[in-house]
Structure 1
């Protein structure tokens, strides 16, 4: 409920409710509700309604009536006073709670401020400790001075560089005679004094400048003969230390030994001079290009293209190339493809045709690689004139062509000779086979029959001599022919021997001057005479086995 006044309402069951708003610090914070009550005891009609209600709701009638009789009775003329009292009591309790809360909040605020102060103090102590640890643990020689130029920090790296321990330096201004033979201020001392530029120039000449990173800081470089065995060249940076009000309360200085770097730079300059000499004296043309444009080249490159250095610098490879290369490709497209591959880190080596200043062409072998010069990508192109080599290659190709033609001619002659020898061998075997077949057909049978005839002793002796000599002749031929050939015709004997030696039908036909179909017919007859018809037996394998 909202507003300033209490409210009393009757519920549908005939009971009354009271409510009053609660204000704390003029803010409507809550509402206070009373329980059920009667203004006066219920009459008979009211009790009858309560009994009906109990029956309707299926409640225990007696218990329900007892509960009704327990409802408090508050006189109507006192209810608003009671509600006002309850409201004032609630508001008083609420105000007390707020006051208590404020007290707790104030206490917490004080505790918070104290905790915050402690935390800040601890944090600053930790920061100071951390700063000390950072300075002490830094590999860079570092020292810190206060406003009176007395050392407050002198790290281990500084000890190692100077040979002076922190124990003997901290709290003193002895650092001024640690770096120089005679006492004199260092850059940090000048910064603490807020010295002017004329004092810096007096101490360091042109070997100092303002720091680009540290406000009101300076950087410098000098040789210190007292540091180390033979002296060292040191680079130093110093900057002010300010308090919360912006007042200079000290300075910090870091030192770097650059002796080795300066020596390396000198060696690098010497090396660059040496490599420049090698670059200019190289026997191949060397170009240095950036984004496809010549930025440098050696003397051989100038001689190769017959141009001056001024004429070469600023040019591209297209300016020295014909529109179309000998292989038919566009010079512009071809060079762009090569550049794309080189930019991807792929080394390129290829033959290319160029023009000299006078327009005369020459062929060259080009090797292109990507290189970083002062952290900037460049292209190195090595060009070698291969005109004479190309002439030699053409001459060699012509000679190879001549030798190849002679080789093909000799191969044909060799094939012809081989064919002739094969044919002679076939004829020789055919003669031997014919002789053996005829002896076995027309001589041995009659000699055998003659042996069964009645002949005298001398005749039988001569007959035995004839048989022995003939058998000896036959045994000499048996290495190349076999006994079972006696059932074959002379042509079949000849064909069987060629089959056994591995010749195919077409080859046999060519050697004997017969048609392939005739050779097939003779093969069929040979298989029949050897009993190989309808058998899965290779004829060559079978004929070879007969002479095994």
Structure 2
């Protein structure tokens, strides 16, 4: 009996020792934990759980009220369900929040929010596992808890941030797409759907974003950034793009996409790398801006500026234009001739004054650019007036001794404004009125002399009795002068006739020059083009290429032959296409051959044939069109 008693004591001792070890491990752990026995009574409630629950161990150990730490009314914790072996009840109490532990046998883990825990509630990740005795029987259960509130709040903030970013990108009017590290599209906003006419549902999850921009597969700029291939960016976008000045690891470019929309679109696009918080490359974003209308406007502006440049350059009126900074932007040929200063010497400088003055001083255009109208009176006192024809314009007449051999000029300056009414510069035109001014001066001088003579004659009549005789004599002298003047007029008339004769000679010379130019063109065609056409015909050409060569040879023959000249001189209302069709008909080409050569339908060729017959007067007649054209 004694031996059995001792044996029982020895058998129970390890269990007691194990209990003390378990208590020490749990109490010393920083992980909140509690242990219940087979009767659901709390055996251990460590200090970490005291802190998180606000319930001291002394008030809960030995009771089955551990639920108080987590819920506002009695209900089983997960440890309770395991002790009871009620695994089928776990889904009831924890629904979609629980799963079997992948690390521990006979253990379950879950994540849930406990509004009664702490201030404002806490998110906990908790794991419950069975405790078995030496015989394998259920002795109780241990449940550990991990406060993941901060993690949950961070995840929620991240989701909200991602949602906000998604809404911003989705609602943005800027077409945008995002690809991941594997070049798969993860975002394609509505603006890009509208631009590309490709729905996000058809493209997200694929690597076919190239379809929106190109006819065949090739990398977009975002792909090249993902692959870290800057040299490939230069290859694909040579002369069209460069590293972004605003964004790091970003490139931007401008290009025309003929397959985008109707007639193609001009896009300015920027691609940038996307990195995570650790700096790892996780994707790329590419934004696009449709600048088609802007490019069209720029082209129209360039064409308009070119037309204006041509008009001013070809004008016989001396003209110059200055910018807001008083630098010369334009100096036409007429002004070059008047001022004897080449445009290249003044364009880009503020030395327009050199043409008119001996020292530096403002021209009228300079004063208008500065908006300093009061200074006009200082520099042009008694010589200027406001233009009656142009707004913001003034005109003046002045003598410029340094211009040519001294020149009288009427000049007009007007402000140039942009669409917003802002001053961009000024334009000044000049008119050489030297001859007119000299005539006016001579006329005034003669008028003054005549008045003086009349006054003298009046005094003579009062002072001398014989003044009448002298006046008669003077009148006779005046008549002689008048006859002399008439003779001078006749002499000038003869001079004008001689000038007309000289003009006729010049016109005859111009006609002769024209014939020489035509002969020169004929010789150039025969000597410079015909030999190369002969060499080209001897090369290995396919039938279509040879046909085009023959057409080229025929057209060159027509150029140097009188056919096209006769055709246009007699029928000036032929269109260019009708002229080309007529040339090919004259060669004996069939309707199908002409259609193939000119890239038009057979019906179109027939339409041009009918128009030719009508314009040549062959409609409803039996005359052969080929023969008629050959006779020309």
What range is the shorter-chain TM-score in?
0.3 to 0.5
| Larger Rg belongs to | 1
Q: Tell me the TM-score normalised to structure 1 length.
A: 0.45
